[in-house]
Amino acid sequence: MLVLGIETSCDETGVALYDTEKGLLADALYSQIEMHNEYGGVVPELASRDHVKKLLPLIQSTLDKAGIQKQQVDAIAYTKGPGLVGALMVGTMTARAIAFAWGIPALGVHHMEGHLLAPMLEDTPPEFPFVALLVSGGHTQLVEVQGIGQYQLLGESLDDAAGEAFDKAAKMMGLPYPGGPHIAKLASQGTEGRFKFPRPMVDRPGLDFSFSGLKTYTLNTVQALEKEQGQLSDQDKADIAHAFQEAVVDTLAIKCRRALEQTSMKQLVMAGGVSANTRLREKLEQALAKVGGQVFYARPQFCTDNGAMIAFAGAQRLDAGQQDDLAVKPVARWPLTELPAI
């Protein structure tokens, strides 16, 4: 089965072609980061309008890149939610219209299931069951995964997601949006031990997260230095970035190790935009090696939002006979645990 995947949940327009026998044939991605950077975050109306402009040309270029004619496409998978409702509407209506015109089925895919299954696109994919850490700008969750659609939530952030915390900490220091890559780059130049930030909620049982206190601690550190010195030096920013990143990755690693011990599993899948952070990968590998665990993650280009993960996730469900009716139903909020098993 040849599936066209469409991703428009936020600020990236992603398209891909996935063949259930041959694998990923082609993918393309357009990022709106430069446009939103001017505003310090995603502007939903601008995101939706840009998806309208970019989606159809990106679909055609992906077909051309793979040498595929539209008559060869068997089905379409598109991001149904969660995400920005306007952006989701663009992808949903485009996918539904093309599927109707081409006379093929279409299926709405859960955005986070796409992330969760993205490591399956690699040469050495994980095998079910496993624990998944979904860590992005909008989500920080630990999920027990027995199979596709067989998800049990183990823990989640009670406030800010990890990616959101990275963005807010970066903004405090005057760094561009999105903050994660800039924090990571600065952190590599930071001084070890100058600042010691708290590891929130690691001293209590359970697998939930909270990053709002860490965000406040970072703000207090920034303001104290500004009061003392007038402004932050480049080294101040690097040292704060280092302490902040270490606190976040330590917290995630501790909770992931605890989740494996609690479920008696040995495999951890890490997915979402923050999973591209190299320090987080190092910490997780070190922490899980101590309990005989193994970490799986997607290549960096498939950690952020992309069409390949939607095409793959959709192909699994379409191949099992699932498809949607003609109704256009984007879903801004959609619990992962509500998905049917296949």
Which residue numbers belong to the known binding site for substrate? 134-138, 167, 180, 277
What is the bridge-based pairing of β-strands 150-156 and 12-19?
A: unpaired
Q: Which residues are annotated as a binding site?
A: 111, 115, 134-138, 167, 180, 277, 305
With contact defined as beta carbons under 8 Å apart, do 102 and 31 qualify? no
With contact defined as beta carbons under 8 Å apart, do 184 and 246 qualify? no
Residues in contact with 336: Cβ distance below 8 Å, sequence separation at least 6, in sequence order:
110, 112, 113, 116, 134, 141, 143, 151, 153
Peptide bond into 82 cis (omega under 30): yes
Amino acid of residue 265: M
CA–CA distance, 142 with 201 (Å, rounded to integer) = 15
With contact defined as beta carbons under 8 Å apart, do 33 and 26 qualify? no
Sign, CA dihedral 78-82-83-88, equals positive
Q: Which residues are annotated as a binding site for Fe cation?
A: 111, 115, 305
With contact defined as beta carbons under 8 Å apart, do 256 and 268 qualify? yes
With contact defined as beta carbons under 8 Å apart, do 134 and 271 qualify? yes
With contact defined as beta carbons under 8 Å apart, do 136 and 273 qualify? yes
